[in-house]
Amino acid sequence: MEISVLQELRYAYRPKLPASLSQDIAGIGVEYGEPTESISDHEALRGLFKHTYGKPIVTFNRGRNPGIGHKLKAGVILSGGQAPGGHNVIAGLFDGLKKGNPESVLYGFLGGPSGLIGNKAVEITASMMDGYRNTGGFDMIGSGRTKIETPEQFASSLETATKLGLSAVVIIGGDDSNTNAALLAEYFLDRGSPIQVIGCPKTIDGDLKNELIEISFGFDTAVKTYSELIGNIERDANSAKKYWHFIKLMGRSASHIALECALQTRPNICLISEEVEAKKLSLKQIVDSLCDSIARRAANKENFGVVLIPEGLVEFIPEMKTLIEELNDIMAANEGEFAKVEKESFREIVAWLARKLSGPSESLFLSLPEEIAKQLLADRDPHGNVQVSRIETEKLLIGMVEKELEKRAAAGSYRGKFSALGHFFGYEGRCAFPSNFDADYCYSLGFSAFVLTAAGLTGYLSSVRNLSAPAEQWIAGGVPLTMMMNMEHRHGSQKPVIRKALVDLEGEPFKVFAQNRDAWALTTGYRYPGAIQYFGPPEIADITTATLRLEHR
C-alpha cells in the first residue's frame, strides 16, 4: 500500500515521555498513596467491589523496580468510538513490555471486547506495530461497543485470558468501557484468578476526567480538527455573507468539544448543554434566543453567522430529557413488544407509545418533526445510551428558527434574510493523525499501563498528569477505578458506573466563554486556528487546548 509523505514522517516521530518513564526501566519506582473512596455511594460500591475497592493512588518516580524485567503476557482491547492516539497507547504498552523483557508478549483482541469474549486475538509483532505508530484510527486491531455483562460473557473473558496465559488485560476505553474494566478486574479476583485489568482513558468527548485524569486522549486532536473546519466555515461565511451555519459537534452528553471549539474560533453563538439544563431552558426559549441574536445581526446588515451546537443538547432540555428518559425505560422494559412494533409503520409506534408516555411527553413527542421522533427511537447503544450522533438537532433548530423568524417578520419585528446550512462534525475528527500532544500523551499512557501491569496492580486507570507542562514534567501513575465511581439509574435499575465529567459552569473555560460571548454574538470577530501542525516550533506543534490551559491557570 502506498503511504502518504506525512504518514511516513509520522512513523519516524519519537513520542516524548515523562522523565519518570524515560529513565532506565529498572529505575521506575512505584509510590503508593492513601486508601481511596468512591465519589459517593461508598457502602454500595464497597459491597460490589469487595476485592478492588479503595486501593491507593500510585505515582511513578525514581526508585527500584525488580519486577519490571519479568516476562509478561498482556492482551489489549480498543473499546468504543475511535479517538486519535489509540495506536500510540498500544505502542507505549508494547515498547514498555519489550523493554522490560524482550520475551514479553502482547496480544491485540480483535474488534473490541467481543475479541476477548470470543478469543479472537493476534500477537502484535514489532513490524506490525511499526506500521501504526503515530497514526490515527483503531484499524490495527479494530474496536467495538460490546459490553461484557452477562455471566457467560464474564466467564468466557476469563477463559480466554487464562487460555492465552495472560497476566493482564488492558482496556482502552471511555467511561462505560472502564466501568466494564472495573467489573472485570473484580470478577477475575473473585474467581481466584490473578489476571490483572488496567484501563486507559480514551474518548474525544473529554468527559472521562477528574482531578487525577486531566483529559481523555483524542480530545486534543479532535477539537483541533473541528476548530480548523469551523474556522474555515467562518471565513467562508464572512466572505459570502449569505448563510447561517448551524454546526452540530460530537461529544455525546458533555459540551466540552463545543466549548473548546468556541474558545478557539469565537463563533456568534455556542450552546452549552450543561447551561441549558442549569437554567432549565425549554426548546422554545433556546429558539427565541437564537432568533434574537439573528435579528440583532440582521439589524447590522449581517445576515450570516455561525452557531455551534453540542451533540447531546436534546438530552439537557428539561422536557426533552424527561421524554428521552421515559422512552429509555419503555424501550428497556418492552424490548420484545417494541421490536414487533418497530416493524410496523411509524403511526403504529406512536399510537403504542402514546399509551405509555406521560401526558406532557406525549404531546412533545407528537409535536416533533417525524424524522427527529424516529431518531429518538433509534436503538440505544449496548450501554443504554441514546445515540445522540444520530439526532439531527441542527436541522431541528434550523426548522424551528425559520418558523419563528417568519412569525417575527409578519409581525414586523424582524427584517432580514435567513438562509441556513446544517453541518455535523464528528467522525471527521476521530481518526485524524494524533497531534503531538495526543501522540506523546497516548504513548505515555500505554507505557504507564505497562508499569502498572509490572507492579502487579489491578482495577487501575493509567494516568498521566500535569499535562499543561512540557512532557518531561508530566506525572505518570495510576488511579483506582472505584475512586471514580458512583451508582446511577441505567436500563431501569441502579448500576455502578464511572461518573461522566460534564462542563463545569464554575470552571475557567466556561467563564472565559461567558465573558466574551455577547461580543462574539453581535460583531464578527472570528478566529481562524488553521490546521494541526505536526512539525515546527513547540509553541505551535506542541500546543494543547484552551480548556486544559484554562483549567490549570
Residue number, 106 or 391, with CB nearest to ligand FBP: 391
In three-state secondary structure terms, 191 is coil
Told to check if 205 binds ligand FBP by CB under 6 A, we report yes
At residue 286, φ and ψ (nearest 5 deg) are -65, -45
Which of the stretches 79-87, 146-154, 159-167, 301-309 binds ligand FBP when contact is defined by CB under 6 A? 79-87
Q: How far apart are CA 125 and CA 504, in angstroms?
A: 43
Single residue of 89, 121, 250, 475 touching ligand FBP by CB under 6 A: 250
Told to check if 147 binds ligand FBP by CB under 6 A, we report no
Which of the stretches 199-207, 284-292, 431-439, 462-470 binds ligand FBP when contact is defined by CB under 6 A? 199-207
Residue 144 is classified by DSSP as E
Active-site residue, 205 included: yes
C-alpha closest to that of 119 among 165, 187, 178: 165
Q: How many CB atoms lie within 10 A of CB 500?
A: 18
Query: Where on the phi/psi map is residue 280: left (φ > 0), alpha (ψ -120 to 50), or beta?
Result: left
Buried b / exposed e over 400-412, threshold 16 CB at 10 Å, is bbeebbeebeeee
Told to check if 297 binds ligand FBP by CB under 6 A, we report no
- Span between the terminal Cα atoms of the chain, in Å: 46
* CB of 132 closer than 8 Å to CB of 115: no
Told to check if 251 binds ligand FBP by CB under 6 A, we report yes
Residue type, 305: G
Residue number, 247 or 401, with CB nearest to ligand FBP: 247
Told to check if 315 binds ligand FBP by CB under 6 A, we report no
* CB of 290 closer than 8 Å to CB of 269: yes
* CB of 242 closer than 8 Å to CB of 233: no
Residue number, 174 or 305, with CB nearest to ligand FBP: 174
Told to check if 200 binds ligand FBP by CB under 6 A, we report no
Q: From residue 58, give the alpha-carbon distance in Å to each of 29, 118, 174, 199, 452.
A: 10, 33, 21, 14, 9
Told to check if 80 binds ligand FBP by CB under 6 A, we report yes
Residue number, 208 or 475, with CB nearest to ligand FBP: 208
In three-state secondary structure terms, 197 is strand
Q: Nearest distance from residue 249's CB to ligand FBP, in Å?
A: 9
Chain centroid, CA 395 distance in Å: 23
Which of the stretches 9-17, 75-83, 453-461, 508-516 binds ligand FBP when contact is defined by CB under 6 A? 75-83
Q: How many CB atoms lie within 10 A of CB 101?
A: 15
Q: Nearest distance from residue 82's CB to ligand FBP, in Å?
A: 7
Told to check if 429 binds ligand FBP by CB under 6 A, we report no
Which of the stretches 88-96, 197-205, 412-420, 446-454 binds ligand FBP when contact is defined by CB under 6 A? 197-205
Q: How far apart are CA 448 and CA 206, in angstroms?
A: 20
Told to check if 137 binds ligand FBP by CB under 6 A, we report no
Single residue of 58, 76, 77, 204 touching ligand FBP by CB under 6 A: 204
Residue number, 251 or 446, with CB nearest to ligand FBP: 251
Residue number, 294 or 309, with CB nearest to ligand FBP: 309
Residue number, 78 or 198, with CB nearest to ligand FBP: 78
Q: Which residues pair with 462 in a beta bridge?
A: 478
| Catalytic annotation, pick one of 95, 205, 207, 438 | 205
In three-state secondary structure terms, 251 is coil
Single residue of 180, 203, 268, 435 touching ligand FBP by CB under 6 A: 203
Count, residues near ligand FBP per rule CB under 6 A: 14
Instruction: Please count the CA atoms within 13 angstroms of the CA of 98 that sit on its side-chain side.
Output: 12
Q: Nearest distance from residue 211's CB to ligand FBP, in Å?
A: 21
In three-state secondary structure terms, 454 is helix
Single residue of 389, 436, 462, 482 touching ligand FBP by CB under 6 A: 389
Query: Which residue numbers are catalytic?
Result: 205
* Interface with ligand FBP (CB under 6 A): 80-81, 83, 174, 203-205, 250-252, 311, 388-389, 430
